[in-house]
Chains A and B, each alone.
Chain A
Amino acid sequence: MTENLIPALDPAPLPGPPWLFHLLWLVTFTVHLLFVNTVLGGTLLAALYPASRKGGRETRTLLVEVNSWTISLAVTFGIAPLLFMQVILGRFFYSATILVAWAWLGLLGLLMVGYYLNYVAKFRLRAGRDAGLAIWLAAVCFLGIAVIQVVISLLHMQPDRWAAVAASGWAALADPTFVPRLLHFVLAALSMAGALLAWVAVRRAGRGGDAETNRAMAGFGIRAALIATVLQLADGFWLLLALPEGVLRAFMRGGAATMVPLTLGILAGLGLLVLLAQIHDPLAQPTRVRRVAELLVGTIVLMIVTRHQVRDLYLAAHRAGEQVVVATQWGALALFLVVFLLCVGLTIYAVVRALRDRPAPGEQAA
């Protein structure tokens, strides 16, 4: 029954080798996730930090200003992994999204509302007004997006659940890994945003910013990252043990390919915990704060690899008979590589030039 509901493989050949699509998918997804974590965690932290407390208004202003860029970048860098993933797993992905069609479409509505609310908060804060409500509403929107993403991610790799979801949409939430996976997502976002906040506050203080305000901001960021990381370690084991038995067994038998990234990821998480616990005064320990941010990014990269491997194991039985034909479009692939390098180069050039070409005092500015 289940196999009859899985659409046939697209008859068109793959326009490039599968490994290339996996590589591009993973690399672009990593960049996407770093921005997503900043947006989700940053908005949650901005909502949770009362504006009335020392550094509260500055924290909100910083995170909202950063998010007016990172939301766009998260969307932009979300396009590429979605594209490359569809080449490989389109028939699973489309089926899952159609089963929860309104939610999948609603994700874009939440994204648009959340983004505009961030602009409302940005302009209200710039005008010296309160922005708590706009930030809280934006946080609800971004949390809603996280829920939808996790639902679709779980559903696309479990065709055995499709019939139940087609009969009742609520069945999409009935997965033992749903809650730990969602928590894994949200806690990682909080850790990353906390580390980012602390890092920026330390840098600002080093450049002559108000020490007390920046100490409060950095302290809040480190505390948030510490609490989230403690919970993350517990949640990580919950998620691992909640995996379907067959998937967990295959994962454990995967040898170095699966166990090395997972073990390194767990060790990095433990290292992060130790590092965070050692920070008592962030302004006095700038190197350690920077290490936290670096280690966090490393941990996320390792967990992305593990996530990708778990997906493959979920789908292994359903993809066992795939007869993929590859007909690489060399010219079009070359076009992409040239355009990509050109555009990334021009983007970096424009940003660097904008940072450096500042008018001298008295000189005309744009």
Chain B
Amino acid sequence: MDYPIWDLAMGGGILIGLVAITHVWVSHFAIGGGLAIAITETLAVRRGDPAMRNLAKRSSLMLILISTVFGAISGVGIWVTIGLVQPAATSALIHTYVWGWASEWGFFILEIVTALLYYATWEKVRPRTHLLIIWLYFFAAFMSLVIIQGILAFMLTPGRWLETGSFWHGFFNPSYLPGLVLRTGICLLLAGAYMTFAALRETDAAARARLVRLLAAFQVIGALLAYGGYRWWEVALPGSVKALFAGEKPILAALAGTRSFLLWSLLAFLVIALFALLVPKAQRWPIAAVGLLAAFAFFGGYERLREGARKPYVIRDHMFSNGVLVSEIDALNERGILAKAGWAAFGTTADPVGRGRAVFRAQCASCHTLDGYLAIRPLVAQADADMVAGILAVMKDQGAAYTPGKPTPTEKLDYPHMPPLVGTDEEVEALHSYLMSLKAAQVAAVR
């Protein structure tokens, strides 16, 4: 909040989503693919099966071209993007989990070197050494997931960390294990889905069917594991989150819709995987492509749901999505939001509309754009001055519902997915003036 503000027409959340979702589609393949290639080459060596060996070799090229380049750089890209859009949250996460990330980095060194080494040593080392390298790769890749899952899950369910501030309480939080099972399933199903394309390049029909069936088994096991993990994950969510989308009180229709979408996508994927398992000879690349798209839809949907379910927080019960801490609501009401958010007022005028714009930039701009994603102008166009004033008053009153270090039943609030409005009465009035100026500008534009 006290950082410079990146005015992004598409909305920062959309950018984070785009970078993060494309990254996880690749990074989870990098893990599951490691296991699938390790098993494939192990079988190839034990059975003397050249088709299996060719599949492992072809897949290893895919692994380094997709994972060590796009996967590695887009992974840094998530970090870069959240640093640009949510710098306060990034700083908070780094202060809490720097040793976790550093540990993940240790596994990352092993993962990258063994990936490059594995591809470079085809036909150059004895089979046992080659197998050792790929199994080491899989170990490192999976361990990086074991660590990063703790940090990802922490943001949604920080658990006892809220009271103790302990690294371990935050890391082994309520949704850690369910999420790990879910992501492990996703790794397997993505590995099967990607590598099916490499298997379909096998010219011998009988061998091709054998490879397709093996990879279909990965997909079926992965889909079942992912489904179990997802259901467990839902159980582990706080009641407030469940109330938002998971059944009894779907306040956010878009999230409830996403939930249905991802579950149907998973079902579609499972059907296609079962088809490949039962009739591997009939597998063709268009069917495999549909399966891969269904996998993307499921996983992308889940990530969207996980991000959306965190609202109004970026770290649940600790920091709101605009960077305001639960613990500083009272202080900011007293001192004013602009006493802290120096950059929000940069380039604005000192009149009420200018100050209101600064308050908007400080508190609202992390989610709302003027005319793009979650556009504010069309929203105020539908309301009159009294109604906007009433909404702002309710949002400010909501601040009293939050207690530092304690979970808040957000589902009972009038605006459960929005942070409370903080600041002095003068700042709230200034925000009102600014919002009304947007309405006036729109009316003038229409005329």
Q: Which residues on A are within 8 Å of B, measured CB to CB? A: 4-8, 10-16, 24, 68-69, 72-73, 75-80, 82-84, 86-87, 90-91, 94-95, 97-99, 101, 104-105, 108, 111-112, 115-116, 119, 162-163, 166-167, 329, 331-333, 335-336, 339-340, 342-344, 346-347, 350-351, 353-354, 357-359, 363-366
Contacts and interface: CB of A to CB of B under 8 A. Distances in A.
Interface stretch (B80-88, B213-221, B258-266, B279-287): B80-88
A351 B116 CA distance: 10
B77 A108 contact: yes
Contact of A351 (B83, B90, B108, B113): B113
B121 interface: yes
A69 B84 CA distance: 29
Contacts of B92: 10, 12
B107 interface: yes
Interface stretch (B125-133, B349-357, B389-397): B125-133
B114 to A, nearest CB: 6
A107 to B, nearest CB: 8
Contact of B4 (A13, A80, A95): A95
B91 A94 contact: yes
Contacts of A78: 76
B95 interface: yes
B168 A331 contact: yes
Given A95-B87, A357-B129, 18 more contacts: A13-B95, A87-B98, A94-B83, A101-B6, A104-B84, A116-B69, A166-B343, A166-B347, A167-B347, A332-B103, A335-B99, A340-B106, A344-B106, A346-B110, A346-B140, A350-B132, A354-B129, A358-B125
B40 to A, nearest CB: 13
B385 interface: no
Nearest to B83: A94
A147 B225 CA distance: 47
Contacts, number: 212
Contact of A94 (B72, B74, B90, B340): B90
A105 to B, nearest CB: 6
B351 to A, nearest CB: 19
Best-surrounded residue of B88, B91, B92, B346 (most CB of chain A within 10 A): B91
B325 A105 contact: no
Interface in B189-234: none
B238 interface: no
Chief secondary structure at chain A's binding surface = helix
Contact of B109 (A84, A97, A335, A344): A344
Contacts of B112: 72-73, 76
28 contacts: A7-B87, A11-B325, A12-B91, A12-B95, A12-B96, A15-B95, A15-B99, A69-B116, A80-B105, A86-B83, A97-B83, A105-B84, A108-B76, A115-B73, A119-B69, A162-B4, A331-B168, A335-B103, A339-B106, A339-B143, A344-B109, A347-B109, A347-B113, A347-B114, A350-B114, A350-B117, A354-B117, A365-B126
A91 B126 contact: no
Contacts of B415: none
Given A76-B108, A80-B105, A163 B69 contact: no
A76 B123 contact: no
Nearest to A90: B91
A353 B129 contact: yes
Contacts of B5: 98
Contacts of B102: 24, 80, 83-84, 336, 340
B303 interface: no
Closest 5 A/B residue pairs (Cβ) = A366-B130, A332-B99, A12-B95, A94-B87, A343-B106
Nearest to B68: A72
A16 B100 CA distance: 13
A339 B103 contact: yes
